[in-house]
Amino acid sequence: MRKTIFFILLSLPFIIASSDDDFNNPSEYFPVLMERNELEKSVFLREAQVITKTGKIYYKDNIIYLNELYKGIHVIDNTNPEAPVNIGFINIPGCIDIAIKNNNLLVDNAIDLVSIDLSNGIQNISVTKRIRNVFPEATPPDLDYIPYIFNHTNRPENTIIVGWKKPDTSI
């Protein structure tokens, strides 16, 4: 009996420590969340933005479409390649991939596939189609999975991960 109690007491710290892992964040990053209804209103043209963290690039009809990871698409007029002009930014939270077919810019808006009509010029873009829940949610840059602490049951209802940020540790 004494050996059993001793074994249980000896094992208890290991049991507690291993179950605690579910509630710790193994990543250096924390999710940026957006409610579903906000996500579906989040694609629109803004003024040109500073280019900071780029992803894929696409070129069509003297226009460069440059992905700003998790944020959207820089639109750059390259009519004069010696002096390209950043003419706008298409706000698309969760965007990491782009393609163009005919006059449609195809992008991921977090977990949705969105088609944006470019035929009336960049100043008159419009979302022509949205297919919900096509893609899995983005994982943190330093992991290949979403930590348990941030899964659907552990965050506000009806939210979607649109990016990941490192916490600001400066004082």
pLDDT tens for the 171 residues of the chain, in order: 554 444 444 443 444 444 445 568 999 999 999 999 999 999 999 999 999 999 999 999 999 999 999 999 999 999 999 999 999 999 999 999 999 999 999 999 999 999 999 999 999 999 999 999 999 999 999 999 999 999 999 999 999 999 999 988 776
Asked if 76 contacts 63 with a C-beta cutoff of 8 angstroms, the reply is yes
Q: Which pLDDT score, from 0 to 100, does residue 45 have?
A: 98
**Where are the chain's structural domains?**
37-135
Spatial separation of the C-alpha atoms in residues 117 and 126, rounded to whole Å: 5
Report field, pTM of the whole predicted structure over 0.85: no
Spatial separation of the C-alpha atoms in residues 124 and 156, rounded to whole Å: 34
Judged on CB neighbours under 10 Å (0-12, 13-18, 19+), 104 is: middle
119 backbone dihedrals φ, ψ, rounded to 5°: -65, -20
3-state secondary structure of 43: coil
Structure tokens at 6: 């001793």
Asked if 98 contacts 56 with a C-beta cutoff of 8 angstroms, the reply is yes
Helix (H) or strand (E) holding 68: strand 63-68
- Please tell me the chain's helix, strand, coil percentages from 3-state DSSP, rounded to the nearest 5: 20, 35, 40
Q: Which pLDDT score, from 0 to 100, does residue 159 have?
A: 97
Spatial separation of the C-alpha atoms in residues 77 and 85, rounded to whole Å: 5
